[in-house]
Every structure is written in C-alpha cells, then in structure tokens.
C-alpha cells in the first residue's frame, strides 16, 4: 500500500481532516433564525453598505480635514458594516470550518470579556475591544455571501484608487516624514506615504492587499487596467516604506509560486534587485544594525514581545480581556493591565506591533487557537479548490491570507478597521 494511502487511512489524517477540511456547509441554512432574517435580504443594498463602510474607514481622515466629523463621531464605518451583514443573503452563509473558527473566536472573546468585567475592567473598553476584533469576522461572513466576486473586487479597486493617488503624491512631493516613523540612522528615507491614516503601515497593508487582488484578477480576466492598477498599488506600497507589508507581499507571492511550480521559486532572488535602490536598501538593512537592535530592546518590538509574554502568563487560558492590551482601545481607556507589565506600569511602547501577540494576550490560548484554526482551514480548503478547479481567485485568497498572517507579525493589522474590513471581505470570497 502506498505511503499516502496509509496516511489517508490513519487516525491522524482523519483528525486533521475533521479539524480543517469542509464537509457539510449547510448547517446554518437549517437555522430558523437565519430563515427569519432572510426576509430582509437585499444583496445590492448589502454591497452598497459594505462600500460605504470601506469609504468611511479609508477616508475618515479626509472628511475630518474638511470639517465633517460625523463619520468619526458616530463610527459610521462600523454602522454600515453591520447593515451590510443584515442585508446580505443569509441563506448563503456557509458553515465552513473557517466560519466556525471565527464564531468560536468571538465566543472566546465574550467569555474572556465577561471574566475581565468581573475582575474590574471597564465595560466600555471590553465592548470596544470585541467590536474591533469582530469587524474582520463580519466582513468575512458578509462578503462570503456574494455571488458576483468580480463585482466586489472591482468595487474595492475603484474605491481605493483616489487613496492610492494621494499616496503617490505624498511619496514624491509630500512633506518630510515624522521622525517617529523612521529610525535616526535612516537619513535616506525622508518621506513615507500614509494616505489619510495615522500610520504609513496602514496604507502599506492596504496597498499590499489590493496589489494582490489586482494581480490575480488580471491573471483571471486578462484585462490591462487590472495590471495598470497593480503597478500603481506596488508603487504606493514601495513609497510607504512599510517593511511588514513588503515582507507580507513577498512571502504571499512566494507561497503561490511554490504552489504553482516549486521551480518558479528560483526566480525569487530577482527580488533582491530592489536593494539597488539606496533608500530601500537602507530601510531593510537598518534592522540588522546594533543601534536598531538596542533601541528595539529598550522601547521597541523586542521590549514589547518580552512585556507581552510576561502579561500573558498572568491569564494564559482566556487572556486579559478584549481591548485590554496592545492597541488603541487599551491606550484610550488607560487599561490597568499595563500596571502588570515587567516595568511595573511604565510602558515605553503601548502597542504590541504584532497582531498575533495582541490576540494571544487579550484572548489567551483559546482565542489564539481559534484564529490559527481559521487561517489553516481557509488555506487548506482554498488550496484544495485550486487543485481541482485552477481558479486564480483561490490563489489570490491564499496569497492575501499568507500576507496578512506575516504582516501581522510586525503590525496590529486588525486594530484598524480599514485593514480588518478589507482583508476580511476579500478572504470571505474564498469561504468555500
């Protein structure tokens, strides 16, 4: 008997298949609640609300600059996102492993939040923490119900076009970047494109995701304007000087090359040609310098990692509670969890700059396992579908999935609704 047949008949294989491979996806279709809610279905209105949510989240800074603060004050991005879920076709919500893991993650957040509230944490912080992390799940489930995937992709690319054009302008003709965004030794990096966000890493994550979307849509449709958009998105990604987004894109594309034909990986050294550009070379190589590593250990990512692990040990199972550590919500509410840090409340870096680390501290081992299960199951099932159908959409979903996972190692990608909704919605197209 061949080795692969022996493995397929083994208990380990059956357990892995049960954990990550989709089988009966119609569990929710038998739900009386969904049948009742399905009476208010309007797919076009759902897509319109999702579009408005994206516009509110991406252009909030622009509207604030012109004196229109309603979007920020009333959190209209989140409101439109919830409306998009309400109006989507509930009968098309599939009970895939990815959805189940996301729902289990939300459940773990509720349990963690309840325990945190009992121990004295502020309810407003906990609720906001749950809502921030739930945006990804809502966008994922909503977009998974859309039949016309290309309509959704076109909507995203059109809506993001003005933002990318602004990024190009900032990168070439913008004002000198804040020194908070570059180290002292990076004298060649004078400007980083940031769009209307408070961080160039957010625009970097956005352009990374849209670049992958445009690339695989071009491969599928063979329309020149997708390739033109791809070049624009790559230019903006370069001008953000976001190392985490660069690495996410590189690993995502390398993964696809490995899936398509491992021999294509021999082309990856060509990527080193970017080191011929002095500013990019300096931006990448600075992380190996002694000064950078010392700074990172004192008040940077290395310090944050050590501090977060120390706090994780306090509540390893369900975590310290949603919103309680490592992000904007914790900073806004002055979370008392910081008083349990290794420096007795003194925090040099309030952000984890690592989405996985933030989830680990806030939701514990249980929540982290659920998120990991989501990523693994979505990867496995899209790979399985691609092997049988050869659809480029499945490859695109895998590339974004890997890119987001890698980007999240150095950035709080889900902390920002602009990225959580975009990545969640696009990955939802692969919920099969």
For 332-367, how does the pLDDT look when each residue is reduced to its tens digit (9 = 90+)? 898 999 888 776 666 667 888 899 999 999 999 999
Here the tokens at position 105 are 């993650």
pLDDT in tens, 190-248: 889 999 998 899 999 999 999 999 999 999 999 999 999 999 999 999 999 999 999 99
Here the tokens at position 216 are 């695989």
Torsion 80-97-104-317 (CA) sign? negative
DSSP structure string for 372-419: HHHHHHHHHHHHHHHHHH--HHHHHHHHHHHHHHHHTTSS-GGGSHHH
Task: Please give the residue that has the higher pLDDT: either 320 or 292.
Answer: 320
pLDDT of residue 1: 40
206 closest CA partner among 173, 166, 255, 257: 166
Rg of the chain on CA atoms, in Å: 22
pLDDT of residue 34: 67
Contact 144, 99 (CB under 8 A): yes
Distance, CA of 209 to CA of 211 (rounded, Å): 5
Global pTM exceeds 0.85: yes
Q: 351: helix, coil or strand?
A: strand
DSSP 270: G
Distance, CA of 87 to CA of 47 (rounded, Å): 9
Which phi and psi angles does 102 have, rounded to 5°? -65, -40
DSSP structure string for 175-194: PPPPGGGS-TT-TT------
Q: Where are the domains of the chain?
A: 25-428
Which phi and psi angles does 351 have, rounded to 5°? -100, 145
237 closest CA partner among 298, 297, 291, 283: 283
Burial 261-298 (b: 16+ CB within 10 A, else e): eeeeeeeeeeeeeeeeeebbebbbebeeeeebeebbee
pLDDT of residue 291: 82
Residue pointed to by tokens 């909503």: 142
DSSP structure string for 262-329: GGGGGGGGGGGGGGGSHHHHHHHHGGGSHHHHHHHHHHSHHHHHHHHHHHHTTSTTT-S-TTSSBSHH
pLDDT in tens, 357-407: 999 999 999 999 999 999 999 999 999 999 988 889 999 999 999 999 999
- Sequence-distant (6+) residues with CB within 8 A of 367 are 105, 108, 109, 112, 318, 319, 359, 360
146 closest CA partner among 90, 192, 96: 90
List, in sequence order, every residue forming a beta bridge with 326; answer none if it has no partner: 351
Show the CA angle centred on residue 218, arms to residues 213 and 221, nearest 5°.
120
């Amino acid at each position: 008997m061949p080795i692969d047949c022996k493995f397929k008949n083994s208990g380990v294989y059956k357990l892995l298949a049960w954990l990550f491979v989709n089988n009966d996806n119609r569990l929710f279709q038998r739900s009386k609640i969904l049948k009742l809610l399905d009476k208010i279905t309007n797919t076009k209105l759902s897509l319109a609300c999702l579009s408005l949510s994206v516009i509110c989240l991406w252009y909030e800074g622009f509207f604030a600059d012109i004196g229109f603060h309603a979007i920020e004050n009333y959190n209209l991005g989140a409101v439109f996102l919830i409306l998009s879920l309400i109006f989507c076709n509930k009968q098309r919500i599939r009970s895939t492993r990815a959805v189940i893991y996301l729902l289990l993650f939300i459940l773990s957040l509720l349990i963690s939040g309840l325990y945190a509230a009992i121990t004295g944490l502020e309810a407003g912080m906990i609720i906001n923490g749950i809502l921030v992390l739930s945006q990804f799940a809502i966008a994922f489930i909503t977009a998974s119900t859309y039949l016309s995937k290309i309509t959704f992709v076109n909507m995203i690319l059109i809506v993001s076009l003005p933002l990318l054009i602004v990024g190009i302008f900032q990168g070439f003709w913008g004002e000198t970047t804040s020194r908070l965004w570059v180290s002292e030794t990076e004298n060649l990096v004078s400007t980083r494109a940031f769009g209307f966000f408070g961080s160039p890493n957010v625009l970097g994550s956005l352009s990374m995701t849209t670049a992958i979307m445009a690339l695989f849509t071009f491969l599928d449709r063979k329309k020149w304007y997708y390739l033109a958009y791809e070049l624009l998105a790559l230019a903006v990604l370069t001008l953000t000087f976001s190392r985490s987004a660069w690495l996410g894109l590189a690993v995502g594309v390398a993964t696809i090359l490995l899936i398509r034909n491992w021999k294509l990986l021999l082309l990856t050294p060509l990527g080193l040609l970017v080191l011929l550009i002095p500013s990019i070379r300096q931006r990448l190589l600075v992380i190996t310098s002694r000064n950078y590593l010392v700074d990172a250990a004192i008040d940077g990512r290395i310090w944050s990692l050590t501090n977060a692990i120390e706090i994780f040990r306090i509540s390893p199972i369900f975590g310290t509670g949603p919103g309680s550590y490592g992000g904007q919500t914790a900073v806004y509410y002055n979370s008392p969890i910081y008083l349990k840090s290794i420096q007795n409340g003194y925090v040099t870096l309030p952000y984890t700059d690592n989405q996985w680390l933030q989830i680990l501290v806030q939701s514990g081992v249980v929540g982290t396992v659920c998120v990991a299960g989501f990523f693994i199951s979505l990867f496995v099932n899209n790979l399985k579908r691609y092997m049988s159908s050869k659809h480029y959409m499945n490859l695109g979903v895998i590339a974004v999935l890997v890119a987001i996972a890698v980007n999240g190692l150095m950035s709080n990608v889900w902390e920002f609704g602009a990225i959580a909704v975009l990545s969640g919605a696009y990955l939802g197209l692969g919920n099969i």
